[in-house]
């Protein structure tokens, strides 16, 4: 499958629904020895399966776009721990995110890409974290909402922020309060930057995804020459079946 330069593909899998022992064994056979060792270290079975499916999905997805066997891919990380393919000359960039119940892999062609997915019913702090870590304008907008809307908005902000810092390849070394999102119904998210970050809003495109009733996700894309990119989402059971693709509304495209 060729990946056009103006498209980004997001592949979605649900590890908890994959129970066929033959599939799980096949996924294990695709992992490197280091990945298999990491997978064995997880205490809970659901986390072992999540790791297994997510890392098999990365390998199988990359092999859709390049003549490399899934088990043959090798990866390196930058100084911030962000992985990339080691194979030279392919131009493929990817980003992986997983949470309870869902795995997402975004793939682009010479485009910086970040994806994040979160389980919105997970326990733990949400809005209180925004008070401590989000930009002041985001906190004001969040607190202005009705209480029963604040948790949902928190995850919208959180996934967008995670997607951006992952696309930059720098993770949480980028302070979350130094950039802010503006969310308006009917429009794609808009970003603004503290001057210390040295970034430009026109260089970025953001897409929000709702892959299930309990999951919130977001995609961050560095625009090539400021052009809008088309985003295709596709659900899959790796090595078994793919659902029909779903095209997401993006700037410059019909809604």
Domain boundaries, the chain: 7-243
Please answer whether residues 129 and 41 qualify as being in contact, where contact means their C-beta atoms are separated by less than 8 angstroms. Answer: no
Cα–Cα distance for residue pair 95/103, rounded to 1 Å: 11
The answer for residues whose C-beta is within 8 angstroms of residue 38's C-beta and 6 or more apart is 51
pLDDT recorded at residue 250 = 60
User: What pTM was estimated for this model as a whole?
Assistant: 0.94
- Closest residue by Cα to residue 219 from 229, 211, 227, 208: 208
> Measured on CA atoms in the order 242, 248, 252, 254, is the torsion positive or negative?
positive
How confident is the model at residue 15, as a pLDDT? 96
Per-residue pLDDT of the chain (255 residues; tens, 9 = 90+): 789 889 999 999 999 999 999 999 999 999 999 999 999 999 999 999 999 999 999 999 999 999 999 999 999 999 998 999 998 778 899 999 999 999 999 999 999 999 999 999 988 888 899 999 999 999 999 999 999 999 999 999 999 999 999 999 998 899 999 999 999 988 899 999 999 999 999 999 999 999 999 999 999 999 877 678 999 999 999 999 888 888 765 654 333
What does DSSP assign to residue 82? -
Task: Tell me, rounded to whole angstroms, the distance of Cα 211 from its chain centroid.
Answer: 12
What fold, for 7-243? Ribosomal Protein L22; Chain A (3.90.470)
Q: Which residues contact 49 (CB under 8 A, 6 or more apart)?
A: 15, 16, 18, 24
Tokens of 223: 């625009």
Task: Look at residue 248 in the predicted model and tell me its pLDDT.
Answer: 66
Identify the burial level of 129 via C-beta atoms within 10 angstroms of its C-beta, where 0-12 means exposed, 13-18 middle and 19 or more buried: middle
Name the helix (H) or strand (E) containing 215. Answer: strand 215-222
Position 172 scores a pLDDT of 86
**How far is 199 from 91, CA to CA, in rounded Å?**
23
Q: Residue 212's pLDDT is what? A: 95
Q: Which pLDDT belongs to residue 249? A: 52
Alpha-carbon distance of 142 to 155, in angstroms, equals: 11
Cα-to-chain-centroid distance, residue 153: 18
Cα 55 to chain centroid, rounded: 13
If you write DSSP's letter for every residue of 125-190 in order, what string do you get? -SHHHHHHHS-HHHHHHHHTS-HHHHHHHHHHHHHHHHHHHHHTT-GGGS-GGGEEEE--TTS--E
**pLDDT at 254 (0 to 100):** 33
Angle at 157 between CA 154 and CA 160, to 5 degrees: 145
């Amino acid at each position: 499958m060729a990946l056009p330069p103006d498209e980004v593909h997001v592949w979605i899998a649900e590890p908890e629904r994959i129970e066929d022992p033959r599939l799980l064994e096949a996924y294990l056979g695709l992992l490197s020895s280091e990945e298999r060792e990491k997978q064995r270290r997880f205490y809970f079975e659901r986390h072992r399966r999540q790791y297994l499916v997510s890392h098999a999905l990365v390998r199988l997805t990359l092999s859709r776009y390049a003549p490399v066997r899934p088990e043959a891919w090798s990866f390196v990380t930058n100084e911030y721990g962000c992985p990339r393919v080691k194979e030279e000359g392919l131009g493929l960039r990817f980003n992986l995110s997983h949470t309870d119940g869902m795995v997402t892999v975004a793939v682009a062609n010479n485009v910086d890409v970040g994806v994040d997915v979160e389980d919105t019913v997970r326990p733990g702090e949400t809005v209180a974290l925004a008070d401590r870590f989000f930009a002041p304008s985001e906190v004001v907008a969040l607190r202005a909402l009705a209480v029963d809307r604040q948790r949902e908005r928190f995850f919208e902000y959180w996934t967008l922020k995670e997607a951006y810092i992952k696309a930059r390849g720098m993770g949480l070394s980028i302070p979350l309060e130094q950039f802010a999102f503006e969310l308006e119904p009917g429009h794609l998210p808009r970003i603004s930057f503290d001057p210390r970050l040295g970034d430009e809003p026109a260089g970025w495109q953001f897409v929000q995804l709702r892959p299930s009733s309990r999951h919130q996700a977001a995609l961050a894309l560095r625009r090539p020459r400021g052009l809008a990119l088309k985003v295709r989402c596709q659900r899959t059971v790796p090595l078994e079946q793919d659902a029909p693709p779903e095209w997401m509304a993006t700037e410059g495209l019909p809604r």
